[in-house]
A and B are shown apart, each in its own frame.
Chain A
């Protein structure tokens, strides 16, 4: 019996050793990259290691808040994280990010001027844009037999059990706020309560609050309507042509996800090399093609097919963007959002 245990243990260790070997041939510096789930072309990571000798330890999250909580605790060990605009400005304000040395990131010049010096990092000190897009409604045209142009349809009882929403606080509030005619950065407690009520009211109609798995659900015809990011919508439409995407007339959110280095990174040099690599036109192209999110890289954009460049999902017109707001950090008022969101989740 003792033998079988030691056999079992050594078997496990042997397997572990083989798996480690299989996963990490060679040595060299390692950077810890913490990104959104399904938000990169995996082959890019391999190519980066081959070219630079820097290995990438890659893990994923599903919400800005989840990443923020880990970084805020300190000594998170991450060398690269990818917050959205409002979260990036919050992290900058709280001193959680390293200033970048842009001389080490020459490919930054490939970024379209439209996407630099934005309000969350006005003088381009901390962040490099990675992807951008809008939030809107993805719907299945075989199940929704009417014009979709308003957020109201996500509150329509006829689609009860056919609606998916993101399980992400600011994004879900943005939908309710726009529907009610508020700003997505509203800090009036009464308006916030109204949005909260509106979301609780919607809850019985929602099939589920999910993360990236909404894509899989919509492609698999598991639901009729979903509030999603344009990049996810674009990916879904490529996979299933019954689907369509619009940005509602009440307006919406235009957002930017950015590459940053958390304070205390022990591999800042290598992390900057990684950011620079992500800005190379061929690499940015690979990522945008795989993920389906819009690239802020003008050189990569030029390399895209015409049907991508011309798609109003992938590359929305100015009149769409005109009715979209950028999310900003709300400082201490975020607590009220936290509370309201917890109440929405807990309610039945």
Chain B
């Protein structure tokens, strides 16, 4: 079966939707407008290194470099905290005493399925001067604390949002750890401490590194969290880019910052992939079972209390969050009576369904094509495929915005639902490819040859032989695409046109207006639906598994 033709459309796809947008960003970063004319210049980059006088003490400060440094420092602190707090969770869950850890790890991942904006918004209610924490302090006669609009609030928001990205890889690696090695070490006289430090931890390093990458990257490019919890007092690189593109209209400077950000992220990914030893952290001594349980409970409390607060306040009669003035369902009634919210819900769901279907088709075809390639060509295509996964979301957002603007301008159509949908397909395709490729590698090429020899047409060989084998990968890819699409804010924010509003964009604009119990009601519903769906999927899987085991026994 000749699979090569599958590659070429995909290469065209990457060139149009990944390479050209990035080139546009680079183009803009290298040009400035002088008297209405665009001229080649390095001024945009030079500006990043400009100093200006600090009005408070007259010293020179490098404001833009400070913003960059601040972003890196915050992301580093956030990553460190995620390792310190998340590693033990992965470690405990992977341990022997939690046979039901499959369910337990689920509970740590569920918050990830909640929209990032809702998760961040929840903290507003908790951290305000008259919010949940300060009201509690005041109740016990303790002095109020300033908790919101500072770096602590931003770091808290980041850790809260990103810690599942640390738990999952650590858990996965430790779960796969060969028990025999640990037993061997113990038999050879290693103490529990030594077993952990010399055997378990070094073997779990790949998980830690992928966790660090997965936390550090979104943290360094964060813009929503710093926007909502930083209150303009805390500008990060992401905010600078957003500001230059959407408010100031200086695309050159915005592009220059994007290029710098992209470079930093690629550099750090390179470093992470080179590093094979990381600094140790996490408790060395084996902890008592009770302590482990306590720790898990505390972390679950940390993950769920904001969601619980959101839900509780969705039933509060008063719009103000400081006091409870009685039970009401009116916010739910208002929610369903609000055409804007219902419209946004429809957009979010239809974009998720359509974009994941399209991305699954394109991605599966491309993966089959890529799998048949070899050598340098394959590495090149894989490298290009990885670009959208690796570069910051905000850079994808602005680069696609520029591309769509040109294309739509040339075609004389506006940006709208179609650009939003296309953008989602674009950032979903690589995730499908990366899910399908491993399965393709496991398939036996001879089976297809055999099918063809036995007279199957290429299409029936594909549908009856190849597809069933790679199906688990295809399904994982589709589900990943669906989830990413529902959760996405940044790319949508930049690529949706007039009157096209999905839930994330709507929540963002509502959150800017202040606390609104309608959002709380919406989160309560979304949380319940997610919980229900995950429960159903999980249940199906367990049933299937049991059935399989039963069948195996009968045989």
Contact = CB atoms under 8 A, between A and B. Distances in A.
A216 B247 CA distance: 24
Interface stretch (B272-280, B370-378, B509-517): B509-517
Interface stretch (A19-27, A118-126, A301-309, A312-320): A19-27
Contacts of B338: 42
A226 to B, nearest CB: 13
Given A211-B513, A213-B513, A221-B130, A13 B247 contact: no
Interface size for chain A: under 10, 10 to 19, 20 to 34, or 35 or more residues?
35 or more
Given A19-B343, A216-B513, A346-B64, A75 B414 contact: yes
B342 A220 contact: no
Contact of A210 (B61, B66, B232): B232
Interface stretch (B164-172, B181-189, B470-478): B470-478
B509 A60 contact: yes
Contacts of A207: 146, 149, 231, 233
Interface residues of B, number: 80
B356 A9 contact: yes
B55 A201 contact: yes
Interface in B489-546: 497-499, 501, 509, 511-515, 533, 536-537, 540-541, 544
A34 interface: yes
A346 B370 CA distance: 44
Give the residue among B243, B408, B536 with the most A Cβ atoms within 10 A.
B243
Given A16-B353, A210-B231, A222 B514 contact: no
Contacts of A346: 63-64, 66-67, 235, 240
Interface stretch (B344-352, B427-435, B443-451): B344-352
Contacts of A68: 249
Interface string A221-237: 11100000000000000
A69 B482 contact: no
Contacts of A348: 66, 70
B52 A343 contact: yes
A75 B249 contact: no
Contacts of A78: 498-499
Contacts of A9: 353, 356-357, 478, 482
A201 B58 CA distance: 11
A236 B412 CA distance: 44
B233 A4 contact: no
A139 to B, nearest CB: 16
Contacts of B497: 75-77
A201 B247 contact: no
A12 B537 CA distance: 15
A69 to B, nearest CB: 5
A209 B61 contact: no
Contacts, number: 202
Given A1-B544, A5-B478, A207-B231, A57 B499 contact: yes
B309 to A, nearest CB: 16
B513 A4 contact: no
A347 B61 contact: yes
A346 B409 CA distance: 33
B513 A75 contact: no
Interface in A15-41: 15-17, 19-20, 22-24, 30, 32, 34, 37-38
Contact of B322 (A20, A73, A220): A220
Contacts of B536: 4
A19 B335 CA distance: 12
10 contacts: A1-B472, A1-B540, A5-B475, A16-B348, A59-B509, A77-B415, A197-B55, A213-B513, A222-B129, A346-B66
Interface of B: 52-56, 61, 63-64, 66-67, 70, 128-130, 146, 148-149, 231-233, 235, 239-240, 243-250, 320-322, 336, 338-340, 342-343, 345-350, 352-353, 356-357, 405, 408-409, 412-416, 471-472, 475, 478-479, 482, 497-499, 501, 509, 511-515, 533, 536-537, 540-541, 544
Given A77-B499, A338-B248, 19 more contacts: A12-B482, A34-B499, A58-B340, A62-B512, A65-B247, A65-B248, A73-B405, A198-B55, A200-B54, A200-B55, A211-B513, A212-B513, A212-B514, A216-B514, A221-B129, A345-B232, A345-B235, A346-B240, A348-B70
Interface of A: 1-2, 4-5, 8-9, 12-13, 15-17, 19-20, 22-24, 30, 32, 34, 37-38, 42, 57-63, 65-66, 68-70, 72-78, 161, 167, 169, 197-198, 200-201, 203-204, 206-213, 215-217, 219-223, 335, 338, 341-343, 345-348
Give 10 nearest A-B pairs by CB, closest first.
Answer: A208-B231, A209-B232, A216-B514, A77-B498, A57-B499, A77-B414, A19-B346, A213-B514, A16-B349, A23-B342
